[in-house]
Amino acid sequence: MSELGRVIEPRRGAGYWLGVLRDALRGRTGDLTSGSLGRAIVVLAVPMVLEMMMESIFAVVDIFFVARLGAASVAAVGLTESFLGLVYTVAMGLSIGVTAIVARRIGEGDEEGAAEATVQAIVLAVVLAALLGVAGGVGAPKLLRLMGASEEVVAVGSGYTAVSLGGSVVILLLFIMNAAFRGAGDAAIAMRVLWLANGLNIVLDPLLIFGIGPFPELGVTGAAVATATGRGVGVVLQLYVLLRLGGRLRVAARHLRVRIGTMLRVLRLSGVGMVQGAIDAVAWVAVIRIISGFGSEAVAGYMISIRIVLFILLPALGIGNAAATLVGQGLGAGDPGRAERAVWSAARLNFFFLGSVATLVLLAAPWVVGIFGADDVTRAHAVFGLRVLSISLYPYAVGLVVNQSFNGAGMPWVPALVYLVAFWLWEIPAAWLLAHRFGLGPNGVFIAMTAAFSSVAVLSTILFRRGGWKGARV
């Protein structure tokens, strides 16, 4: 039964929803498997949206200050982000498995199982981060050259790349533990962690980039140091909450040991989630590799437009994460009908939110891009890209929620298949053809990306409506 056009709790008054909003910010979610579905969505979505806004601010703040250093520095950040995409792939893959298992166990009333899954995911994250961090930190210059960077970009950006990739452990741990909090329904905790991490990043960025006061002038490398420091402090807070404060999810001494069965269960779901993310990440690498052939200004323009789009998308992902949690807990409680209604209600909310913001950005693209202070050529690329990509956000608002719902149900291979078709079989060939064969340059890449985002929404919605996810086991 489709609930896409249904208004959430239309008969509730403003006073009721103000109370729900206060509960959301205070972390008072209550039982998410029963009662008002509208309230459940809001108390989860509000802190998750704010959490994702904080995550998106990491990227925007860095590029805001780095843009003052010139196109070479912006290009170095952009090329590094392509490799960080692989780190995020691992982080989000693990997050998918953790959220699905923790949400299902909480829905079943098994808090011990939720704690066990969280600990095993943390162990996996540390091991994988060590491998990624060493490889990325040592091979930074080679990685930049592999992406077609000029020697100027390599000279300016190697330090940024080394610090960013070398600090992979804080990225993975931040993602994993916040995913566990979200799966348990403790979304306000994840929100507060990102507030703290971002506050530190915002303060440290200009100090370390430009050498203000007693701080050293590190240039673009300072942006990486600031971000790693902010995230590191956030990880410390997460561990304190898990071990000392708790909530629905609390780790005790009895959980601090390796449990092979639980770890394999996490790894099974997370492994498919990593494949899902890898398909997405490789597509990003391929796209920026195509654009890099048109010069540093094209890469810089692409990065500015993408950072703005991600700033919009990440809060929208918060609504998708709320749907994923409700699907997992709903299936755990044996109520797939409630889970389905939650998805369509969240999709409608996301369409309104993302569509409204996309419309504003579409109309105000020159002004938004101008905030970053780029040169005229870079700005022209960024404005065109931002306008074209904004169009895709209307259908993608629904597709994003539906794909997250598959993940919450424990079926991450479905979005993986959708991404494989939309990005590898469609976006990458179309981007190359439009950019080179049809002579559209970077503009052709943006057009191909928009078509791919739109196709994700269509494919995922068709598959979701078939209903096979209702019988998924975790």
Determine the pLDDT at residue 135: 76
pLDDT of the residue at 356: 93
* Maximum separation of any 2 CA atoms in the chain, in Å: 63
Residues of the chain with pLDDT under 50: 1-9
Residue 433 CB coordination number (10 Å)? 13
Of 226, 247, 255, 251, the C-alpha closest to 239 is: 251
- Both tokens assigned to 296: 């540093």
The confidence score (pLDDT) of residue 11 equals 59
393/454 Cα distance (integer angstroms) = 8
List Cα–Cα distances, 392 to 107, 396, 400, 449, in angstroms: 35, 6, 12, 8
Calpha distance 277→182 (Å, rounded) = 19
Q: Which amino acid is at 175?
A: F
Residue 155 is predicted with a pLDDT of 87
Q: What is the four-CA torsion angle of 273, 274, 276, 281, rounded to 10 degrees?
A: 150
**Residues 6 or more apart whose Cβ sits within 8 Å of residue 474:** 100, 101, 104, 265, 269, 328, 331, 410
Give 330's contacts (C-beta < 8 A, 6+ positions apart): 33, 107, 336, 338, 339, 342
Residue closest to 386 by CA, chosen among 402, 404, 372: 372
Cα–Cα dist 91/99, whole Å? 12
Residue 4, pLDDT score = 41
What is residue 340's predicted lDDT score, i.e. its pLDDT? 95
Q: Is the pTM of this model over 0.85?
A: no
The domain ranges of the chain are: 40-471
Q: What is the pLDDT at residue 21?
A: 83
